[in-house]
Chains A and B, each alone.
Chain A
């Protein structure tokens, strides 16, 4: 039976709504704040280890089986599914409650800062419901950037420390990309048995690969969190609908279909939704005794208690909870004695160039739906050339194209032409599927100008201070962005195509906004000592030993590889440490 089917029959119990204290009726071992990649994985492992867990999720309950619009076409949706401020990634995107702007929960950007935007859903499973499913391991160099070239900071762990947890995570969630080992620099090959077959490259993927290969750049199977081979408790992909809508059959990785159902099945998990946690509470000895939250529907404030607290609310929200947890011992926020909370905020560098290719025009009609995630991608190829390139860190390339289900932007195929009738129909048929979009995703080096703090004035609807962001891309990033443009234009040229629209060659102008790649990480980083980090290598707070962080906040660097797989692997490793401590009676 599919995991998703099990989930359909499990209603997350709403615990003591209206009670002054949830914990008055139920002693919990661990409170997990957040239900996305970090929170979902933490709850999965802790409940399987026999610990009683209360999960507090700020968003509403969400049922992917009933709510996912799997085969609906754009004609059925308002505005043909086009993006609006209410649904910025299109009507069918799984995200609940706005994404860039959540009702009643503002954030601010400091005066003089470069733009920063912050994507938040308010739903069980968080961003794992809509994410891009790209699941690339960080490589050995990614954990020791400072040792490599003096820039950024080293992690307190190595690739080898995390590798077994990557293996486990890939086997649990289902990831494509199985291929003979390539041994590419800093692009780990997973051991046999970890990955599933990627579907064959589509026509446009075979096409672009030839240009990259002519430039000496390898193209390899994408690692996507999509099930393509028979797997216990999971359905396989039906190669039909976009993963961003979520998946009603649980064929891709979502916390709500893969992690929470088995956690619920242990009988050890209680989930309370609409619980917006804003404070970690301490006992007289300075240990965490629980958290305080507001019920978003009633506006009532509640406290819950447990023997340990895990924060996995997302890097921004986790930092906000710590900063709002003020006490005599921590007047500037919990674990913030050295001013480290909110610091070293990072995102990925993002840049897009799109091309149109006569050589792809009028290909015989074919089904290009694929597994939604790209079937192939281009890992960073210039590790030994950074000196001559003039920027220190690299990027990988995510490439979209093919005969996708038409959307409202389909008329762009015709450019400035003013044809009508038969000419218009013929032109559209001819050019349909001939556009390829090249998207660079690059490493960002943490810098002193990128951080978040509490806004001194602005509060959310319930009176809790909100985050104020500060952002400034460094030259390492803007030069890298400029190189993306140069590379993509060369690829487009080699393939006989033309760029679509104006191409901005100034990396400073072409680079994405801070936060726009939705890879914001690093606000409570791990480290080797309490002087330069908030948590240790297990996500355990230096200042409060029974407080853990298991989301992207703990990341020390932001390699080009998308962070979710690493967040999952780290959360599993940290949760195991927590569970072992509990078994030894150390909580």
Chain B
């Protein structure tokens, strides 16, 4: 870091001052690096804390944690299968419901109306959708959506719970639309204009350009958008907790009540007495952490590779 030559004629005082500046420079840089290191340490300690505190559960249950379907804190029997299935079912269903809407909106904003008044309105609406708190979604779902689903269930002659997998999936779908839209819109708007113009000049209609140029080009990016939305959906807690019905059994169909990993934690964590019980819930948190982390990293890697292209 020496940017002055040794044989300049500097007085002692001046040299000292220069040294001070250089020292500051070093301290400043190291200090900033330290904040980064602290961030890494926070993340690592989160992982380590979760792992260590779930050891009692891992010892007690072993691999049975994953396939056991009995949940009985009184007899210390814990199987997370119903919650694993519940989580997977709600998230995947939410993805299936939201993807057509999310992709249409991103094609609308990325291709048909990338700029201007109309586009601004829709962009703002989608952003607002992201800023509504989860607990408000849950409350609205309880009051508005549950009666609608109950009526539907009465018509279909299934048990009219109102709450359940389907209800939570619908709310989840609304909640993840903004995330998949903002990602896939970016991906779609990054398609090189030359490619599109080439297709147009060959006489392609807009639909054909979208189908044969944009979609193939953005396939991996759109996949990443779905993946990251899935990561969101898996960890979403409050709205699902309020709408899923909190049953400890494996859901029979999409109308039956169930439970997700996140909502079991939310419901039972403060009531968990006993070391193993608490530890089981933490192990569930660890599982959520690992799954969402893997999904996130792979999603971002795909996006990164896509943007570098």
Query: Does B associate with A?
Result: no
State the B residues within 8 Å of A (CB): none
